[in-house]
Amino acid sequence: MRRRVFILGGLLSFCSYFTGFSQRIELSPILIERIRYLTIFLEEMKSNKLEGVPFSYCEKVVDYFSEIELRERNLFGVQQDLSIRGANFENNFVYLNGAKVNDPQTGHFSLQIPLTEFDLEKVTIDGSSLQVAFHLKKPQREGIQLKSSWGQHSLWEEAFSINFPLKEIKNRISFEHKISSGSKQDTDFKLHNLVYYALLNEEENNWEFLFGWQKKDFGADSFYSSFYPHQEEHIDQKFFQLKTEMGIHSFSFSNNLYFRHHRDKFVLNRHDPSFYTNFHTTYVWGDEFLFKIFSGLDFLTGIFKEKITSTRLGRHSRIKKELTFRFTPQLRSNLLSQLDLSLLHCQGYGLNHSFSSRWEYSIGDASKIGLSVHRLLRYPSFTELYYFSPVNRGDTSLEEEKIYSLEFSFSHKVEKNIFTKLSIFFRKHKDAIDWVKNNLSSPWEAKNLGKLEVEGGGFTLKINPWGEKSRSIRFSYTYLHSPKASYSYSKYVFDSLQHKFVSQWKLSLFGWNLNLLGKFNKPYRRNSYVLWDLKLEKNFFSNLKFFIEGTNIFNQNYYEMVEIKGNSRWYKIGVKVNF
């Protein structure tokens, strides 16, 4: 029966290709991106801004927002954990082209996105609902991009992207490869990303097909435990997605069908693999339908299956079902609103609900006031439920975590030169989940901690005093008042940033463009540190670009986590060619 549901979704999508209608209805972006048009709650970085930012992999972009903490166990996309406004990496919701790609085994893998920089159109962050969304560039009928770079520690990167037509279908194939000996012993890596994206726009229907493949082989020095510095990991991920849109008169329909396969091989001691080696394979199926019955009312339904086969966690699976009613009434021309009411059922946890309410009021053309209220659910990962070892103990009786959030926002724009935004937010966690212990010699245990409350605020200032896109200044700051720890030792929940300040300086001189980014981080229980990244680039001719990028250019000594030392300075140079 379960297989039939997924097959039915695919058949409906396939059949829609052959169905004609007399009128095409343009669909709202909510179908694809899940984050609505109430822009006051969003932080985003678009492709025209991404081009000049020093990022060596797509996920790195989020680190330049003050409400995000990105914990990199190594650079260039080897592995990183995401924290939005102090929520740990299991509590965030990550979307790729509208599909939720959170890994059911562990949130350590949720931010492994099979994309190249040629595929990324923009990144949007909704701190109030703990969402990060990666949006794709649409393929074109023609265009070729090539990139190659070299850097410290035997770094070599190569990448290409080709756009081409197949009759009426626009296609893009992108590939990148990165290899390095690592900045220290047992941090070497080989990384691959391959993406194929096809788009068909017809008078009646829109079709999208996406395939992403990611392969990572790397040394994992102290990634999970400082007692074992010679760890090694091998990851192979495949992602498939088929999306369709169709409409007739006031009714429109869309389908988002996707599958994610993630395989992980973990070696505790790469010099003696027989000592301890684990294999984990997860499968995620998703099929979502959106029906727009008439203007202002959407009906969404989805069914999802998560499965794991593991030498350590065993074999487990669960089915999730979701039903959502979305109201977007246009009460006044200067008042936008959105209300989501959802029923959710997860196998083993029964029926539950979530809701979301957003309001945005415009004061003239320059100012906006916003209010958002959310109730979110987070189910325990398979690791939190079933992982048992001498140093880590899961708990099969864990309850789902309920998250309540409230945000007030105000933004103001002075023509095109100055933009400011101020936010105040509150968040409460009920049955919060974390790995804790009271004695240093005791094993880590997954526990429901009860209630946690987080409050804070944020400020953003963007200045363009010269009126030029190549010259601008941006400041952003986020403050968090973290909860007091109820246990002596906490792995994640009680080890968040209390202060983060980000400054970005874009300058242009004699044809050279400089993008300098500084980050001041003050963890709640650890010493503060400042990191600076830069990118210097110059165009030669109309299609050739030379660039220099540096990460942690002042070689700041710091710790990403209590037991994990941060990354040292790393420079690279490269060229990029467009045809």
143 Cβ contact list (under 8 Å, min separation 6):
161, 162, 163, 578, 579
- The CB density around residue 445, as the number of other CB atoms within 10 Å, is 15
d(CA 464, CA 420): 12
Give the dihedral of Cα atoms 82, 225, 569, 47; nearest 10 deg. Answer: -20
pLDDT of residue 349: 94
Q: What is the CA radius of gyration of the chain?
A: 23
Helix (H) or strand (E) holding 390: none
pLDDT of residue 518: 95
What are φ and ψ of residue 85, in 5° steps? Answer: 50, 45
Largest Cα span, the chain: 71
Give the dihedral of Cα atoms 3, 6, 10, 16; nearest 10 deg. Answer: 120
pLDDT of residue 31: 36
Tokens in use for 329? Answer: 């009434």
Secondary structure letter of residue 26 according to DSSP? P
The model's pTM is 0.89
Question: Pairing between strand 367-378 and 335-346?
Answer: unpaired
* Torsion sign over Cα 161, 165, 170, 171: negative
DSSP reduced 3-state for 554: coil
CA 323 to chain centre: 24
pLDDT of residue 244: 94
User: Can you give the residue ranges of every domain in the chain?
Assistant: 2-316+328-578
d(CA 149, CA 155): 8
Mean of per-residue pLDDT scores for the chain: 87
Nearest C-alpha neighbor of 87 from the set 346, 423, 429:
429
- Does CATH number 2.40.170.20 belong to domain 2-316+328-578? yes
* b/e map 100-130, b = 16+ CB within 10 Å: bbbbbbbbbbbbbbbbbbbbbebbbbbbbbb
Do 121 and 136 meet the contact criterion of CB atoms below 8 Å apart? yes
Nearest C-alpha neighbor of 18 from the set 254, 293, 207, 290:
207
- Extract the residue ranges of the chain whose pLDDT is less than 50: 1-36
